[in-house]
Amino acid sequence: MIRGVLLDLAGVFYEGDHVLTGALEAVRQRHRAGLPIRFVTNTTTKTKMALLSRLTGLGLEITGDELFTPGQAARGWLTQHNASPLLLVHPSLKEENASLPDRERRAVIVGDAGHAFSYENLDHAFRILIDGAAFLAPAKNRTFMDEDGS
């Protein structure tokens, strides 16, 4: 018996700036059937609010509770483990973590940081890791691809 549906976003619900054929109707059918839906993503370049805005702009009726992001998972881990982050992430995600309190325990979080992968930033992260910080990689991407495809 199916009790819920997990849907990825990029390549499943949308591609680029358009919804894939049948995706909106499929979601509506699941809602009408009373099935809970959760949208999941591995994108580490957009905040949850930016993703929600994009999805509603594409015509999807979605609540914040229906979307789960890597940034959200990382914040949950930080809270659960009473840790503060050193962020090597896309600049747009730094705002999402600005309200986290400063704590003694540290964690290095690495995402699609683009130009933030400088020698200085990597060296700083390395030193914190050597001192015992936890290491989190919210997405399993082996490469970084910006929206321009490079």
Give tens-digit pLDDT for 72-119: 999 999 999 999 999 898 888 887 777 888 899 999 999 888 888 899
Residue 143 lies in a domain: no
pLDDT at 143: 61
User: pLDDT of 134-145, one tens digit each?
Assistant: 999 887 766 655
CATH number at 33 reads 3.40.50.1000
| Greater pLDDT, 148 or 45 | 45
> Which long-range CB contacts under 8 A does 77-83 form with residues at least 24 apart?
77/107, 77/136, 78/107, 81/105, 81/107, 81/134, 83/107, 83/134
Residue 147: per-residue pLDDT: 59
Look at residues 15, 34, 68 and tell me which one is the last residue of a structural domain. Answer: 68
The C-alpha atoms of residue 18 and residue 1 are separated, in whole angstroms, by 32
Q: Is residue 52 part of a domain?
A: yes
What pLDDT is attached to residue 49? 93
Q: What is the mean pLDDT of the chain?
A: 88
User: Which domain, by its residues, includes 121?
Assistant: 70-136
**For residues 122-150, average pLDDT:** 80
Residue 150 in domain: no
How many folded domains does the chain comprise?
A: 2
Residue 82 lies in a domain: yes
Shared domain for 131 and 104, answered yes or no, is yes
